[in-house]
Amino acid sequence: MRERDGTLPGHLDERTAVLMLHGRSVPVLAGFDLDFKSYSWADALAKAGYDVFMMDLQGSGLSPRPKMDDPRNVNPAQQNLLKPRPPGFTPGPPNYPFQLTNSNSDRDELNTVVEWIIRERGVKKVAFIGWSAAAFTMGPYAVKNPGKVSSLFLLAPIFPPEGTSKAPDPLPQPGFPTFLSTKDGTWNGWTNEVHCEGQREQAMRDKVWDAIMKSDPVGSTWGPEGEGRNRIRNFVRWGWNKTTAAQGGVLGGSVPVLIAYGEHDRQANTSSEDPEFNFSVPALYNAIAGDHKLMVKLDCAGHSVVWEMQHQNVHNLSKHWLKQLKVDGKTQGIFDMNTNGDISPAP
């Protein structure tokens, strides 16, 4: 966990704590605290007076990665990416034939951090900001623990409205602990969502990958020299769907919710016959039962908006949200944001 404490001296009793959580494949520091130009979202919030915490779940970033240092525990279908081979590595079945973590362990880790922040910083609640698959952890946690969560800002949330509510049996689930991604694969996947002139800077190809590798001291030594491989934890999830989002009227009730996503995002909005992988951001807005809910669609933005032209507008949106819990003076509604940061009701 990293902290950027923007609370001014003499205002400790007014401290507002914000906890930021990463998605599936990008460590929290590369996503929220990129040391390049104005891209650090955490720095922007700290400069606005917030006490910002960023956490990596087990298996991500600088947190412990049990079983993941063994290259044999990489997805067998991806072991061909380990060229040249790490010392002593021979391709084959995983030595630990299970997925690494699950919804219960992720939410337990989140709870440990939340309770630490509340205790150590003397706050009553923590404001959540989550990107992408962070919704699987932060959404259900907020529903079950509204007394600890002041608000929820989900950027490009992954939400399967018909996803399963039940934990699989047995746990841990069979499989493997580690997926891999490459620099080219990451960049090219992002390219599929670039449809506007100036949507991203070419320099981000190296800046983002270097930051990911800085958070992965082992993966950075795998694959081609000087490039590395991004190790991505394999986790099994459940309990985040339209039933959970509506449960008790908590979301949009005692926990106000703001959802933002890019108009070109094809990771958070999919069309799959498998309900576990049929994702929809608007379906999340519709599923939230409370009235205090807002959704903003960002023009000229994809799933990786934190590294695109709209990033500063997202920073400003979050600062306004944390202070006012409103968008355009309203506590409910659907809006569009253009590249100048202007907000208007969706047609």
What is the distance between the alpha carbons of residues 229 and 221, in angstroms, rounded to a whole number?
8
pLDDT, tens digit, 9 for 90 and up, residues 249-280: 999 999 999 999 999 999 999 999 999 999 99
* CB-based contacts of 225-230 (< 8 A; 24+ apart in sequence): 227/182, 227/183, 228/183, 229/81, 229/82, 229/180, 229/181, 229/182, 230/25, 230/180, 230/181, 230/182, 230/186
| 11 has a pLDDT exceeding 90 | no
Q: Look at residue 12 in the predicted model and tell me its pLDDT.
A: 83
Q: Look at residue 213 in the predicted model and tell me its pLDDT.
A: 98
| 107 has a pLDDT exceeding 90 | yes
Token code pair at residue 232: 């991505």
| 330 has a pLDDT exceeding 90 | yes
- In whole numbers, what is the pLDDT of the chain averaged over residues? 97
| 14 has a pLDDT exceeding 90 | no
pLDDT, tens digit, 9 for 90 and up, residues 155-178: 999 999 999 999 999 999 999 999
Question: Computed from CA positions of residues 247, 147, 283, 189, in that sequence, does the dihedral angle turn out positive or negative?
Answer: negative
Q: What global pTM score does this model have?
A: 0.98
Helix (H, G, I), strand (E, B) or coil at 22: coil
Query: How does 236-247 read in b/e, with b if 16+ C-beta sit within 10 Å?
Result: bbbbbbbebbbe
pLDDT, tens digit, 9 for 90 and up, residues 219-249: 999 999 999 999 999 999 999 999 999 999 9
pLDDT, tens digit, 9 for 90 and up, residues 284-324: 999 999 999 999 999 999 999 999 999 999 999 999 999 99
| 37 has a pLDDT exceeding 90 | yes
Q: Look at residue 97 in the predicted model and tell me its pLDDT.
A: 98
| 13 has a pLDDT exceeding 90 | no
| 10 has a pLDDT exceeding 90 | no
